[in-house]
Structure 1
Amino acid sequence: MNLIRKILFPFAILYGFITSIRNFLFDKRILKSTSFDIPVIAVGNLSVGGTGKTPQIEYLIRLLSDKYKIATLSRGYKRKSEGFVLADLTSNAEILGDEPFQFYQKFPNIQVAVDANRTNGIKQLLSQKNRPEIILLDDAYQHRKVKAGFYILLTAFDDLYADDFMLPTGNLRESRSGADRANIVVVTKCPKNLSDEKQEEIRLKLKLNCSQQIYFTFIDYDDAVYNEEEKIAVNEIISETKLLLAGIAKPKPFYDYLKNENDECLTFPDHHHFSETDLNNIQNKAQNKKIITTEKDYVRLKDARGISKLYYLPIKISFISHKQNFDTTILEYVKGDS
């Protein structure tokens, strides 16, 4: 924790007090939460950024979309549109935001919508002729004006909410007690070989109640990189000199998976909008070499002027154990609430 964050500790106490009062008012139904007559699953975290919400949403889409009509609803962070937007053939990352546009491109059989007002967004989705049967709320754990039927809380293995502090001293959006609302807690970005003993240590640290389930997942990188024309195996490209580019919260594992000693890494802030200056800088550093980026950055860069030889590395989450239990819990909730 740096000195400035330590100095701001009194503000963290104040922020924690304000968010606790807000949660108390929602818990006591003094502030209104709206529930809906279809299954609504909210995925989110207590901290800001970097817990793996996008691959978790994609996992749920794959689990559910063969049997149900699915819609995702996101805020559309840093998009240049306003209000409710339902993705269509005219949509792009600037209109939807990078992650919703990624959902739209990867899963053409689902509806993808954005609206900062999640209550209005759900109402708009339910008014569509092709009404969804399940809505997945992306990054909506603190959006308490909607009462979801099921909550999945994510926390990163190397940045557990139990070890964190309130903003601005730490990265928590609300106090650790907010975890009590979760039906399931998923510890993300774990080592693949995480021991049973370490899992038990984390369970105890998070202090979950007896009704809550906990799962441990890791990021599973694809064995190839892609663009719209071709696929190249990672083991073929790993020794080639290339430019690695990432605009995500925690890019180190991405770099570690692909990097050799001659590669250059170019890092931008999470959800970065690439300016003309950025694009020129990327071209100058690439010098006609292949550019490998994240899937989220690819949807923003693939049509950018002058950017060539651009590829992305897909990721997904995999469960260390008890995957079937997780799937069954979700499917039973959906069936019971349908």
Structure 2
Amino acid sequence: MKYFRWLLLPFSLLYGLVVIIRNWFYDAGIFKSHKFEKPVVSVGNLDVGGAGKSPMTEYLIRLLKDNYKLATLSRGYGRKTKGYLVAALFKGMPGVPGGTVQSGLDDSHHQLADLVGDEPAQFKHKFPEITVAVCEKRVEGLKRLLPDHDLIILDDAYQHRAVEPGLSILLFDYNRINEPHFVLPAGNLREPFSGRWRSQIIVITKCPAQLSASEQVTIAERIKPLPYQSLFFSKIEYQQLEDLAGLPVDTVIDSDTTVFLLTGIANATPLIKYLNTVTTDIIHHKYPDHHPFTLKNITKLADEFKACTSQKKVIITTEKDAQRLQESWFNKDEKIPVCVIPIRTVFLNDDDHKFDQLIIDYVREY
């Protein structure tokens, strides 16, 4: 497949030219880019696929939510609705735009994901006290949100040039740092690598916990941050297992455990590497990113799980994937244990205080 992609280089040149012209129109003011008087923080990446935007957004939420009235604004990829919508959790009400059922089985995850997308649904379930909104037209969404909020976090909006955020955080996946800097379709970049200049903060995500100083220097030489850009390195830290309702469970994984891993994310490699540190018996049910799970998918998984003769077995999925699941799917005949593995962003080199201060200083300017 990788050799076939080399044949696509002419199309990449054409695509890259179109993106460069589009960006130039915005930079020159021919296309209007809106600025706002309140702090707007953008989290994004240059390449397609997961670079850790959701855990970074959640890091920012934890940092700021106690002192500021904040909202997140996303496009709402994969949702079944259109336009501006605010996520809400209602009890005992039928599913309506902006709200969900919250039944005893907590199937509200699946219903809210249909309305706003899996990642916004994840934000709302984890942080019910904040505003979570979706809108394809981010300018419209910002105009609606800003009058009632102190700041907005834009999720996956680096290429949305109609908005000029006050602070842009650009993420690069450590596992893809050495890939050629080609745009689609021959490469994986949404825009040319030179587009990194618009960010003030660059974070290399999903790094090994023991990333050496010399390798950090090598990566910095590869990224070539500009003088005004701050470069950070971070890792993913896996948290205690939870059930689909977000409650901690006592399940312990060891070398005797058979793990049925269910994923519909862009890159499950870091999770598999982590699970391999405790067990090698992993049966991976892999689906494309944002895959809308169906009862047929889950029935296949449940049948394999019940047929497994291992004395210790468990189904594990990610937080994002859990938003697209209905717990009732796993309770048709008997209780099948489903565990969710939460993750958090942790900065290397004890740089969390430095990163936090950059964010807080920017917000306080307003």
Taking a change above 3 Å as real, the CA distance of residues 303 and 125 of structure 1, as seen in their structure-2 partners, is farther
Counterpart of 1:297, as a letter, is D
Supply the distance in 1 between the matched residues of 2:175 and 2:52 (Cα, whole angstroms). Answer: 12
Supply the distance in 1 between the matched residues of 2:22 and 2:328 (Cα, whole angstroms). Answer: 43
Residues 217, 317 of structure 1: 8 Å contact kept: yes
Structure 2 gap segments, 5+ residues each: 90-98, 101-111, 308-312
Moved more, 47-56 or 198-207: 198-207
So what's the TM-score if we normalise by structure 1?
Answer: 0.94
- Partner of 1:209 in structure 2? 226
Q: Is 2:272 the counterpart of 1:255?
A: yes
Moved more, 296-305 or 47-56: 296-305
- Partner of 1:74 in structure 2? 74
Taking a change above 3 Å as real, the CA distance of residues 286 and 134 of structure 1, as seen in their structure-2 partners, is same
Following superposition, the deviation at residue 213 of structure 1 comes to 0.3
1:320 aligned residue (338, 344, 348): 348
- Partner of 1:329 in structure 2? 358
- Partner of 2:94 in structure 1? none
Following superposition, the deviation at residue 209 of structure 1 comes to 1.1
Number of equivalences:
334
Residues 225, 232 of structure 1: 8 Å contact kept: yes
1:293 aligned residue (317, 332, 335): 317
Q: What does 1:163-312 align with in structure 2 at a 5 Å threshold?
A: 163-228=180-245, 231-233=248-250, 235-236=252-253, 239-259=256-276, 260-287=279-306, 289-306=313-330, 308-312=336-340
Following superposition, the deviation at residue 184 of structure 1 comes to 0.3
- Partner of 2:96 in structure 1? none
Following superposition, the deviation at residue 10 of structure 1 comes to 0.2
3-state SS of 1:224 partner = coil
Counterpart of 2:115, as a letter, is I
CA offset digits 1:31-75 (Å, max 9, x no partner): 101111110000000001110000000000000001001100001
Structure 1 gap segments, 5+ residues each: none
Following superposition, the deviation at residue 301 of structure 1 comes to 1.0
Supply the distance in 2 between the matched residues of 1:195 and 1:234 (Cα, whole angstroms). Answer: 33
- Partner of 1:100 in structure 2? 120
So what's the TM-score if we normalise by structure 2?
Answer: 0.87
Following superposition, the deviation at residue 142 of structure 1 comes to 0.4
Following superposition, the deviation at residue 206 of structure 1 comes to 1.1
3-state SS of 2:160 partner = coil
Following superposition, the deviation at residue 230 of structure 1 comes to 5.0
Residues 46, 161 of structure 1: 8 Å contact kept: no
Taking a change above 3 Å as real, the CA distance of residues 17 and 236 of structure 1, as seen in their structure-2 partners, is closer
